[in-house]
Amino acid sequence: MQKRLSEYLINKAKNLKDKKIFLRVDYNVPIEKNKIKEKYRILESFKTIDYLIKNGARVFIVSHLGDPEKFSKKYSLQILYPFLKNKFKNIEFLDFKKTKELFNGKEFFGKIFLLENIRFFNDKTKDLNFAKNIAKNFQIYVNEAFSASHREHISTFLISKFLPTYFGFRFYEEIKNLSFWKKNKKVLLILGGKKISTKYPLIKNFQKDPLVKKIILGGGILNYYLKSIGFDVKNSYYEKDFNKKLSSKKILKITDVVFEKNKIVDIGSRGLEEIFREIKKFNGIIIWNGPIGIVEQKPFDEGTKKLAIFLSKRKNFKIVGGGDTLAFLEKIKILNKFNYISTGGGAMLYFLAYRTLPILKIGGFSF
């Protein structure tokens, strides 16, 4: 029997006082020289944390950062601790040793804790016994990590098998706002980024989706597409080990690209004009995830910048998601020009492609 997601919003939980909460957030944000480049995702979790604290819960904040296979100072969540300490004065950081002790049953007294990077603890395994052993140390599981919930990891998926499960305010808002497809709204997708392998299944789904009218590619994904249709990409990056065909009438064929030292670094001016013409004649929802050039290097950020400014002036309902995209829009100060800002990149696309997430399927949730 399906359960209504709204009934499992955290404010529907009874008697949170002194309950130990495993709160999964997603603080996997861009960091440069120990400085947070995109705070939006972190700030959006505060409403749920504030609610839990106000209602007397003991909050254990769990997140990943990067994709390390073992402890690495570079990926320690201690980097984020000063920023969180500014907001939550009594927060305590549990380092690798203390987090391991917590998972092994040691009691820590206090109201709010930031745990060490969950990826240091084999979070990506599908070990049910391991998930069960972690769950024994908590009383409630709260998922406020929409942007990581397209993955079937222990902290975003399996742990919900062993604990009463609720969802944070932002998670619920994401599902509510991304469910526009139920009203048969047509969509234009702009997909950038580096890797085709992670997005290929989603693109295949979008190609079959009658609501998706046009797909515009950029970055390494465009390189792969161009290579697959016989365009000479020279020494440009694309996933050489990936060999599935990518072609569709829905994909806008853009061959005007900027080369630098035989590598594609951006979309050219004529290519941008083709994109702008396509967008001008489209009156549905525009969804953007991923830069279309190498935004870390000037002047190869020009295509992404021009696209962002062009979109910001359109009257279409515009949805944007993905850490790198949000960081770039924050940098050029036009993030607020978009109608809905999703905390997810891959998760946003996964939900739009499949109309659900693993954590929703496992609980039989409808919305």
pLDDT in tens, 318-331: 999 988 898 899 89
pLDDT for 76 beyond 80: yes
In this predicted structure, what is the pLDDT of residue 277? 97
Return all residues near 73 (Cβ < 8 A) that are at least 6 apart.
Answer: none
So what's the pLDDT on residue 1? 59
Contact 154, 130 (CB under 8 A): yes
Residue 193: predicted pLDDT:
85
Cβ neighbors of 266 (< 8 A, separation 6 or more) are: 257, 258, 292, 293, 294, 299, 300, 301, 302, 303, 304
Q: What are phi and psi of 166, to 5 degrees?
A: -135, 170
Q: Where do we find the tokens 């062009």?
A: 310
Q: Mean pLDDT throughout 226-250? A: 89
What CA–CA distance (Å, rounded) separates 86 from 80?
10
Contact present, 286 and 338 (Cβ < 8 Å): no
Instruction: Given CATH 3.40.50.300, say whether it is the number of domain 3-169.
Output: no
Question: Are 89 and 101 a contacting pair, CB within 8 Å?
Answer: no
Give the tens place of pLDDT for each residue, 176-208: 999 988 888 899 999 998 888 888 999 999 999
Q: What percent of the chain has pLDDT over 70?
A: 100
* Alpha carbon distance 11, 172 (integer Å): 11
21 is written with which tokens?
A: 């909460």
* Burial class, 291, CB count within 10 angstroms (exposed 0-12 / middle 13-18 / buried 19+): buried
Confidence of residue 220 (pLDDT cuts 50, 70, 90): very high
Domain ranges in the chain are 3-169, 177-354
pTM: 0.91
Residues contacting 17, CB < 8 A, separation 6+: 55, 56, 57
Omega prior to 299 cis, within 30 of 0: yes
Average pLDDT over residues 40-51: 96
pLDDT digits (tens, 9 = 90+) for 85-117: 999 999 999 999 999 999 999 999 999 999 999
pLDDT value at residue 247: 77
pLDDT of residue 63: 98
Asked if the 177-354 domain carries CATH number 3.40.50.1260, the reply is: yes
How many residues belong to the chain?
367
User: What whole-number percentage of the chain has pLDDT above 90?
Assistant: 82
What average pLDDT does range 199-227 have in this prediction?
Answer: 93
* Whether the predicted pLDDT of 30 surpasses 90: no
Contact 340, 287 (CB under 8 A): no
**Residue 63 φ/ψ region, left for φ over 0, alpha for ψ in the -120 to 50 degree band, beta for the rest:** beta
Q: How far apart are CA 75 and CA 70, in angstroms?
A: 10
Q: Tell me, what's the pLDDT at 213?
A: 96
177-to-182, 207, 299, 316 alpha-carbon distances in Å = 11, 22, 35, 15
What pLDDT is stored for residue 308 in this prediction?
Answer: 97
Choose among 210, 211, 254, 260: nearest CA to 235: 260
The residue type of 353 is A
The whole-number pLDDT of residue 110 equals: 93
